[in-house]
A = this chain, B = another copy of it.
Amino acid sequence: MSDKRKITVAYGDGIGPEIMTATLSILEAAGAAIETEVIEIGEQVYLKGISSGIEPSAWDSLRETKVFLKSPITTPQGGGFKSLNVTTRKTLGLYANVRPCKAYSPFIRTHFPETDMVIIRENEEDLYAGIEHRQTEEVYQCLKLISRPGSEKIVRYAFEYARMNNRKRVTCMTKDNIMKMADGIFHQVFNEVAREYPDIQTDHKIIDIGTALIADRPEMFDVIVTLNLYGDIISDVAAQITGSVGLGGSANIGEEVAMFEAIHGSAPDIAGRDIANPSGLINGAIMMLVHIGQPAVAETISNAWMRTLEDGIHTGDIYQEGISKKRVGTQEFAAAVVERLGKAPVTMKKASFPRSTRSEQELKAALAIGPGKTSKKVLIGLDVFIDWKEDDRDPNVLGEALREVDAAGLKMQLITNRGVRVYPGGMKETFCSDHWRVRFFNADESAISHEQLIDVLQQVKQLGFDFIKTENLYTFDGVRGFSLAQGE
């Protein structure tokens, strides 16, 4: 028993229990040295009133085993229930979502038989931090936050993944032609880290073109690293076009804990009928076996699974007249995989997973982010956002009124609405919402104090305006830490 690795397992909802049973039966037959500890998650936990969908005691199991094989769950309809996946990822710091996406043509129908890419998605930041505010009748805001260390962690992971898995190229995708700072830092970190991996080719695609190319020429990609929202979209595109929505597994990797799952949902409509395809969770479990240092078992299972596909033993979702030989249920499919343990695929490439020669410490060292920099940060101004809808929303009225503000020399310079300058010198066609950004800085961009900021707010309030939010303006080593307005 002592050489068995303990893992945490959750059977989930819908088809979850069936596919987990099927998957574990294969792991056992293949000789995976694991011992499972079961935790409760999902619908029953939500309905007990636990808004996160996970039993509080389950965290202890995850912290102890550090490995989580998870079936899909069902989040009940109605308010107040939080995404278990988001909670798990963020609470345990699972910063990297890893999604291999491979075509299995002709056994799985696709226009793109050569596809074999891995998408590595940042998992914690971006718009998914869930920081939203409504501060006027009309305008709703969500903060997109991108950090340098968060970017470095995922980019470094992508390069280490590429090197370990004998991949040749890492492609970065951002929208830094528009978001020059938020997406710009991600791209910049990518370029910096890339220099440490001269053996790996690199390139960068703007996400709109990049997504279009994934949809149309997926075979051109190898490893892709990208921000959270973009990764969410392109992962689904890649899975869909290779026909692997029902087959794909995924890993969520943290510094301590890692979670493995199928990419599909709990499919409650077909639950309990023994017809679900367990392949997604099988592929998640294969990734888990590689992660816990059992790559040989992972290869045995992967080869047997591919052979099962080749032999035409297919569940209903992938059954094709002329290619499939036998339509099977969930457990029969698993039994067919078990029967083929030790066999290799005939037409498809045999599985080959990396044998890490590095200790856990060495791996951690390779993934460690560099020491933080320290720039000289200088406060030079303030954006005050105001809720205002009087006087036909004429920006000149607002501008003239706010000209009176003078906080020890700190004065208003311009006003924008939805990012466009409307005072001074606005254009009459510009549509103005009730959400105005008023920018204050010294004409010579010299340093100011927090006391001056507070003074500005006091004067704005005294003039009768409802300030709803503020953003300080800083320079870092003399470089502006803020964008100019459109028209500034």
Contact = CB atoms under 8 A, between A and B. Distances in A.
Interface of A: 52, 59, 63, 82-83, 86-87, 90-93, 95, 111, 124-125, 127-150, 153, 175, 177-185, 207-209, 211-216, 229, 232-233, 235-237, 239-241, 245, 254-257, 372-375, 377, 383, 387, 389, 416, 418-420, 427, 429-431, 433, 435, 437, 450-451, 453-454, 457-458, 461, 466-474, 476, 481-483, 485-487
A125 B418 contact: yes
Given A59-B427, A143-B141, A128 B178 contact: yes
A482 B134 contact: yes
A486 B82 contact: yes
A228 to B, nearest CB: 9
Given A240-B213, A430-B93, A140 B134 contact: no
B133 A481 contact: yes
Contacts of A372: 137-138, 389
Contacts of A254: 429
Contacts of A183: 142
Given A130-B419, A148-B137, A471-B135, A229 B175 contact: yes
B135 A91 contact: no
A139 B145 contact: yes
14 contacts: A130-B178, A134-B481, A137-B374, A138-B372, A140-B145, A140-B185, A150-B433, A208-B235, A211-B236, A212-B241, A213-B240, A214-B215, A454-B458, A469-B472
A420 B91 contact: yes
Contact of A182 (B142, B181, B374): B142
Nearest to A134: B481
B142 A138 contact: no
Given A111-B111, A140-B145, A181-B140, A237 B215 contact: yes
Contacts of A127: 144, 175, 178-179
A211 B469 CA distance: 34
Contact of A135 (B150, B235, B472): B472
Contacts of A185: 140
Number of copies: 2
A136 B52 CA distance: 31
A467 B450 contact: yes
Contacts of A91: 420, 427, 429-430, 486-487
A418 B141 contact: no
Given A90-B420, A90-B486, A111-B111, A142 B139 contact: no
Given A92-B427, A178-B128, A377 B137 contact: yes
Contacts of A472: 133, 135, 467-469
Contacts of A233: 207-208, 211-212, 233
Contacts of A481: 133-135
A124 B145 CA distance: 21
A470 B473 contact: no
Contacts of A139: 145-148
